[in-house]
Amino acid sequence: MLNWYRAAARFRPRISLHEKIQVPTLMIWGARDIALGLEFARASLELCERGRLVVIDEATHWVQHDAAGEVNRLLLGFLSQGNP
């Protein structure tokens, strides 16, 4: 993951703020994330045409570890709806 952050800092992605992401998007966020605040999730969601944000109150930055069962349930539901 550290290499991903290094590459992102060096090679900034070219994102057009005029074109929204068209694929269905599920964003799962921990409300107790001290590394990335909820405002980042909301700003990212604005870039999605068909985005959905689910905030898990008791989860931190490591939401997949803090609430594994809930994350799995959300993913299975999202994917079973025919979303890629």
Report, as an integer, the average pLDDT of 20-30: 95
Q: Could you read off the pLDDT of 38-83 as tens digits, one per residue?
A: 999 999 999 999 999 999 999 999 999 999 999 999 999 999 987 5
Report, as an integer, the average pLDDT of 18-32: 93
> What was the pLDDT predicted at 79?
94
Return the number of other C-beta atoms located less than 10 Å from residue 83's C-beta. Answer: 14
* Residue with the larger pLDDT of the pair 33 and 17: 33
What is the DSSP secondary structure assignment for residue 22, as one 8-state letter? -
The phi and psi torsions of 45 (rounded to 5 degrees) equal -65, -30
Using pLDDT thresholds of 50, 70 and 90, give the confidence band for residue 8: confident
CA dist 79 → 16, 43, 74 (Å) = 27, 23, 9
The model's pTM: 0.79
- pLDDT of residue 12 exceeding 80: no
